[in-house]
Structure 1
């Protein structure tokens, strides 16, 4: 264990640091997500840290700093009869000093030697036996990159966020097995539910690579530090599966943010201080640095990321340069290489100055389509029947047959502010109902923290991207009967029109109606035609006319981009200056869709309506009233249902408007609407 001392006051902390020698790390005991922790290289920094940490906990731990070492994790399982196995080992791409929840994590580890791997595995088993843990245990190590010296940083004798990741990454059902072990059942008696043949007393072997990447929403907060470190700030995470690191890594970057095409060197400028002190945009700063001809050695010195990872990233950027020089004359070999390195059709199109659909058409003509592989926990050594699948271009055959007739349900993707477990609940409810109706179902989602990605929830689970390209590929491979988009929140809605244009059958509300509701301009125009009242509005064409409109109706005015979630870039402007800043932000968020400006009504009451309709006929509806005035986002407001402060006339009006809108948009399925009164 790293040299450390437990202290109870600021004074003791400074004395302990003197004995250990700076730099040191301070962390509060009994805390989750690295709350109140950080690094200090002198007394003043430590004094400030200690004050903060002691506010969270009575005890403070001062450690010798191991910043820049490799961080490795093992998940270990032990039964009451002393049978031990290691289920998964994971390696953080970011060096020590960045919380595991903030790091990009790779499983299985890629840069450990066989000797290091076995040394840490043996220690992990010794530790779990020494502590007498029955069930599941997570061990985190710091490993010196230049020698075989290592320290144990943390042992969690419980299921943690890493356990959820490990069980999704290996297909080994950790929580299920741990529950059986706590009842005293030996590992050798528990069936491996994936293979159905072997027992749970085996170590999974992986014939693929898994990359976990965190998602931050720091742009929503003003004056918040964008730096990431030993205290966790991420709000969600994604898991990508591929058969090469490059493929999985690029998939993961696209999953985290739909606006990103992959490992893109044009997202961020090169800034050396951001390489030394990482921010939430670190991968793109790395991409820009590699494009600017930084060497792997130079980047390793700045970031302390292992050279193996950096040289893999360099391969992606080098191939991007090849694509950019090619322009339109792509041949089959190059297109296949691009797909094997994890490039999406859209990314190839951007590099070769073509369009996504043109690349897709060429790819299909050349017969370059994805292969479907199983996660079977035994790397194909035993015959295993599993429905846990992913797509890859680094393969030669499919692992399964496609009988057709499945209905695809698209999940919500990564958790972020405004899209969380509620959509997972909707998706699971939908899958269960399909099962009751005797329909076979396919789930597409990539969030390891969800129930919808458990392989026993549906007939086939694709752990893959939710993008037009991938959903359409799976739709064509599976000869599917239709796609349900309404269960996944904003993300599936964004691809509705693209799927519709390619003749994919979307079940429920038609994509044209979805577009009329999402596209602010079309929606406002529709309300005017029907005579439903709304605040005065105007579509943004240029800044001059926008300022003219706002001065005419009088400030404050509301800037509203289309196709956004949880009010991203939606702001109330009080002056021409505000308006200009907010319009720039909004046009960045909804590049392909219109931005609308409308008069903001102060001191108005806001009402939420949730309803379900079939062919435009309302089946049931619920009305909720906001306690706060309009202007507080419904996700931040206090809601009351049934409404307490509305008169009968207003309620009748609300019902009339809801009925009108449902029939105008011909809604089939759920819909939600906000009104101001």
Structure 2
């Protein structure tokens, strides 16, 4: 049962958005505040970021726009006198601040109880030496690493472990200051950088080429545990999870491998004593079933935001309730509203997360990816098969409209070298290599990416090649349907059959394929994410669009009482959490005015893609084709394009041509403002 002595709770936010610490903490903090409010608990928030949803009116009872630092937090505690504090919803910033408050005795002095995971458990996961000791106690293997305080120790440790090694800075976020060293010269260069912002540097043996697997685990104070989601990196170990394409649930593990790692994850978090949520990251050797635990995050992370959105299991919400003292068996899953939070989600779809980089905006930046994060945002795509999910995802990151098919703009001199060295364009290099006739085995040897993934990518190329042998009149219904099921857009199909060159217009070519497809009766269906793979009847509003289905899971009212809001897509430099805030405000207003609110967005870090923010959430692409699919099904009263930044704005004229009612500023006026020549 819940702790009745807790009447007022202080929550630490994550401050400014930064690379590696972005919108996901606005999402998790907002969820926690909602969960507390539902319990009738007064909430106090410290977060100086004005662009977030959680700092808006009505989310917390009191907001302090102050730095998340011990001195300021103590002042707020003195004034507000909270009974409890939550540390795990504001990323690394909140966690480090919480540990400091504990060490300085401030929490004890004002009798503030840490809700959820105890601070000692946080320290056991954050401090590498304590962490290794803790896992040694239960005979769980960790990566052998040496904690060093100066350069001499660092050199010695690397020599003893044997190169190649990886360097990491302790108490850092997003792999800051880490990298691989093949020799002493590289080691010194890396270590100097790491010591400049951390007192402790870790040197560990490199396991490049192993698989990287992650489990999200939840535990309550009665020692009940479930694993909510397991994820697998498309890239082998050596690339930070935040830089890697991630697939959920894992696709290439055998049943015994999956259950071995699941059992280990539960054993670890019981021993450490987590209450709420955490994630366990593994390095896994596919040859021998050997594993190492890379790290445990005793807080919500970007991966947990992804796991939440991927499964429809509201992790942050549940974690906050567990922090209040509830058991898993006492809580309902707030998405399905019918099952207990004690169910492990089952998925009947595949989710693919792809990071988005904006490296072209910087001069002289190194495009190579490694153990330190450079991505500024990410997208999540949902499909009924891997091919569909990855093609959707590649279009969502906005690097061309072609899914996995040939990217004509990409020029590469040495394909072998480009496959060996991971960059932000590597997946397109694989596409180029396949078009040039590289085999799956050759690409696997160069990249160490699992052959299962490569064979699926080869399948996409095979469909593309089959279509290239046709023109629009000889393209048969079956091949067209196959292409749609595996994630091809009308435009990709038009390009493959040579229609784009023939009509000299991408738009016209796409529309020809669209009408041909509709004549054949090849139409998309809407599926719901119910976290239960349809084992129990559940009505959720969490939807995606696919061609791999026969019938939609929901019925459409066609009463012109819904309003569609177009979201802002992936965070990028110059477009981030502020558009999430705008979208959420629009949804709230639509509901207040008695209309049904519909959101289309695909960014897993946001509050706008949260299950309880709107009446219907389409977690899908913001392309002309997909938005039109949804408009055809929903027949809305109108569409709002002005709250999602540049992506929706660019769709305004195209939607207007199809007589879609755009609410607010007319499409023509938007065009006059956006087109520089017309504007002048």
On whether the aligned pair clears a TM of 0.5, the verdict is yes
User: 1:101-157 CA distances to partner (integer Å, 9 max, x unpaired)?
Assistant: 000000000000000000000000000000011000110000002110000001001
Match for 2:394 among 239, 248, 253?
253
Query: 1:457, 1:194 → 2: CA distance?
Result: 12
Q: Is the 8 A contact 2:400 2:407 kept in 1?
A: no
1:482 aligned to 2:626?
no
CA contact (8 A) 2:213 2:282 kept: yes
In structure 1, the partner of 2:436 is 292
Query: Partner residue of 1:437?
Result: 593
Q: How do 1:582-597 and structure 2 match up within 5 A? A: none
Q: Does 1:269 align with 2:382?
A: no
1:277-426 to structure 2, matched below 5 A, reads 277-328=421-472, 329-354=474-499, 355-404=509-558, 405=560, 406-426=562-582
Q: Is 161-170 or 2-11 further displaced after alignment?
A: 2-11
- 322, 329, 332: which one aligns with 1:188: 329
Q: Is the 8 A contact 1:142 1:150 kept in 2?
A: yes
Q: What TM-score do you get using the length of structure 2 for normalisation?
A: 0.76
Alignment partners' CA distance in 2, 1:273 and 1:215: 22
Equivalent position SS for 2:378: strand
Partner of 1:235: 376
Partner of 2:69: none
Q: Counterpart in 2 of 1:590?
A: none
> Partner of 2:95 in structure 1?
none
CA contact (8 A) 1:269 1:285 kept: no
Per the TM alignment, residue 266 of structure 1 is displaced from its structure 2 partner at its CA by: 3.0
Structure 2's unaligned 5+ residue stretches are: 1-141, 500-508
Q: 1:509 aligns with which of 665, 669, 679?
A: 665
Q: Does 2:208 match 1:67? A: yes
1: CA distance between counterparts of 2:599 and 2:407?
A: 33
Does 1:148 pair with 2:289? Answer: yes
Deviates more, 1:328-337 or 1:137-146: 328-337
Q: 1:570 — aligned with what?
A: none
Secondary structure of the corresponding residue to residue 507 of structure 1: coil
Which consecutive unaligned segments of at least 5 residues does structure 1 have?
525-677
Q: Is the 8 A contact 1:265 1:285 kept in 2?
A: no
How many residue pairs were aligned?
524
What's the offset of the Cα at 1:265? 2.0
Question: Relative to structure 2, which stretch is displaced further, 309-318 or 259-268?
Answer: 259-268
Task: Determine helix, strand or coil for the equivalent of 2:445.
Answer: helix
2:614 is the alignment partner of 1:458:
yes
- Hey, what does 2:112 align to over in structure 1? none
Kindly state the Cα deviation for residue 514 of structure 1 after the two structures are TM-superposed.
1.1
Report the Cα distance in structure 1 between the residues aligned to 2:565 and 2:402, rounded to whole angstroms: 23
Q: CA contact under 8 A between 1:141 and 1:152: conserved in structure 2?
A: yes
CA contact under 8 A between 1:7 and 1:60: conserved in structure 2? yes
| 1:523-542 to 2 correspondences below 5 Å | 523-524=679-680
* Residue 276 of structure 2, aligned match among 135, 143, 148: 135
Shift, 1:513, TM fit: 1.2
Q: In the alignment, is the contact (CA less than 8 A) between 1:412 and 1:424 conserved in 2?
A: yes
Task: State how far apart, in whole Å, the 2-side matches of 1:362 and 1:468 are.
Answer: 17
Does 2:204 correspond to 1:50?
A: no
Question: Hey, what's the Cα distance between the residues in 2 that align with 1:426 and 1:516?
Answer: 23
Residue 258 of structure 1: how far off its partner (Å): 5.9
Alpha-carbon distance in 1 for matches of 2:517, 2:197: 56
Conservation of the 8 A alpha-carbon contact between 1:496 and 1:511: yes
* Preserved CA contact (<8 Å) 1:419 1:489: yes
User: Is 1:269–1:288's contact at 8 Å kept on the other side of the alignment?
Assistant: no
Task: State the SS of the aligned residue for 1:56.
Answer: coil
Contact 1:484 1:508 in 2 (8 A): yes
Q: Contact (CA 8 Å) 2:220, 2:276: kept in 1 or not?
A: yes
CA distance in 1, matches of 2:656, 2:245: 35
Alignment of 1:493 onto 2:634: no
Distance 1:359 1:456 in 2: 36
C-alpha distance in structure 2 between counterparts of 1:512 and 1:360, whole Å: 25
What's the counterpart of residue 99 of structure 2? none
Secondary structure of 2:582's match? helix
Match of 2:308 in 1: 167
Q: TM-score scaled by structure 1?
A: 0.77
- CA–CA distance in structure 2, aligned partners of residues 467 and 401 of structure 1: 23
Deviation string, structure 1 residues 403-443 (Cα, Å, up to 9, x no partner): 02211100001100111111111110000001110111110
Structure 1 residues 147-168: Cα deviation after superposition (integer angstroms, max 9, x where no partner)? 1000000100110000000000
TM superposition shift of 1:18? 1.2
Offset at residue 269 of structure 1 (A) = 3.4
Q: Could you say which residue in structure 2 is the equivalent of 1:672?
A: none
Structure with greater Cα Rg:
1
1:469 matched to which residue of 2?
625
In the TM superposition, what whole-angstrom CA distance separates every residue of 1:152-203 from its partner, at most 9, and x where no partner exists? Answer: 0010011000000000000000000000001110000001112212110110
Structure (1 or 2) with the greater strand fraction: 1
**Matches for 1:84-163 after TM superposition, within 5 Å:** 84-163=225-304
- What is the distance in 1 between the residues matched to 2:345 and 2:426? 32
Corresponding position of 1:446: 602
| Alpha-carbon shift at residue 259 of structure 1 (Å) | 3.0
